[in-house]
Amino acid sequence: MPVITNIEDLRELARRKIPKALFEYADHGSYDQISLKANRDDLKAIRFRQRVLIDADNRSLATTMLGEKVSMPVALAPTGLMGLMHGDGEMLAARAAEAAGIRMCLSTMSICSIEDVRAATKAPFWFQLYVFRDRGFSESVIQRAQAAGCTALFVTVDLPMRGQRHCDLKNGLEVPPRLTLRNAFDIATKPSWALSVLMGKRKSFGNIDPYIKNKRGAWAAGAWANDNFDASLSWKDLDWVRKVWPGKLVLKGLLDVEDAKRAADMGADAIVVSNHGGRQLDGAPSTIAALPRIADAAGDRIEILFDGGVRSGQDVLKALALGARGCLIGRAYLYGLAAMGEAGVAKALSLIDNELRVSLSLTGVRDIAGISRDILFDTIEDRRNI
């Protein structure tokens, strides 16, 4: 077993473990990947104030996200196809989240179903909804999430149409998938991955299959979803969601101050400042650059969660300093899942926990409530003003 010191180590293990098409599906962004890169670059550019001789004993990372107690301000972001990164991926990730005392948000486009995940964990989990043109699906999946005891619904609003990822087209990761000679060879050289997926409970989209019951198979469900993304999605649709979902409502994928204010006006419980991990509007700002303005404009009225480029506890601390209540991580845990299944997700979470704990101490902060912009040496905004 290699020594794993950071998320990049898990990324490298994942790269070797799973087929190239799947690795790049997870790793890459849309078009020229400008926003994907900006998410990382802008986080990296932020510097902390190093403070000394402040009693560093007994640091606590415990906090709440959406009013729920969590062991640290981190949750697993919804990601499609988790169950192809590793067989039963969603169930394994849910178990790792439960063991770590944090929440997972399950994607509409998951391989394991809501019910599979419910059976795999005793902990509450959240559900992410793509509002498809076929509202019958949305209504039925919302009911299933409710029946499974999901405590929050994350409606993803930054994907009325799908951004293009060049790698997916080149790798044949389309609907239906294109099996090239290179793909076939690649799969043949990844036997442990192939076995885990073969042994997994499902190979198709577990939330969609029951709805399109007459046409089973991954391609049917994938094609159905592709045809059903709703380019006409608007604020009035959220009023409809509000009516059918009685629990906590979170809008995922906001980057603009005006949209954040409107989300607060409509009574959403939280927003996720997100550019879908640089997978949608290429050329959109990094999420960390957008965060402080949104926090200033709406942070007193609505809970602000953050994602995009988080690969360490230091990144979590930076986002919290700039106004986030908590962070969602996407690729950071997907690399772990692809590399080592449940143990890999657990490893990703323990790395982030340790990094956050140490960084909290070295910035002289006792607990999560004590984090403020004061711990930053300068911010992206300061630099812009120079």
- Cβ-based nearer residue to ligand FMN, 82 or 346: 82
The residues, any chain, with a CB within 8 Å of residue 177's CB and separated by 6 or more, are 219
Regarding 330 and contact with ligand FMN (CB under 6 A), the answer is: yes
Find the largest Cα–Cα distance for the chain.
67
Q: How far is the CB of 18 from ligand FMN (least distance, A)?
A: 12
* The one among 144, 276, 293, 325 contacting ligand FMN by CB under 6 A: 276
C-alpha dist (Å) from residue 127 to 77, 201, 240: 10, 20, 17
* The one among 35, 63, 113, 128 contacting ligand FMN by CB under 6 A: 128
The residues, any chain, with a CB within 8 Å of residue 87's CB and separated by 6 or more, are 195, 196, 197, 198, 199, 200, 201
The DSSP annotation for 91-104 comes to: HHHHHHHHHHT-EE
One symbol per residue from 85 to 114: x for binding ligand FMN (CB under 6 A), - otherwise; what is it?
Answer: ----------------------x-x-----
Site for ligand FMN in 176-235 (CB under 6 A): none
- Both structure tokens of 36: 């994907």
* The one among 23, 65, 75, 80 contacting ligand FMN by CB under 6 A: 80
One symbol per residue from 23 to 42: x for binding ligand FMN (CB under 6 A), - otherwise; what is it?
Answer: --xx------------x---
C-alpha dist (Å) from residue 153 to 95, 104, 266, 374: 20, 12, 15, 33
Regarding 329 and contact with ligand FMN (CB under 6 A), the answer is: yes
Q: With CB under 6 A, what is the number of residues at the site for ligand FMN?
A: 26
Helix axis angle, 34-45 to 287-298, nearest 10°:
70
* The one among 156, 196, 359, 379 contacting ligand FMN by CB under 6 A: 156
Span near ligand FMN by CB under 6 A; candidates 47-55, 86-94, 219-227, 307-315: 307-315
Q: Which has the closest alpha carbon to 348: 370, 333, 328?
A: 333
Q: Are 367 and 59 in contact (CB under 8 A)?
A: yes
Q: Is 276 a catalytic residue?
A: yes
Residues recognised as catalytic: 276
Q: Which residues bind ligand FMN (CB under 6 A)?
A: 25-26, 39, 77-80, 107, 109, 128, 156, 252, 274, 276-277, 279, 307-310, 328-332, 334
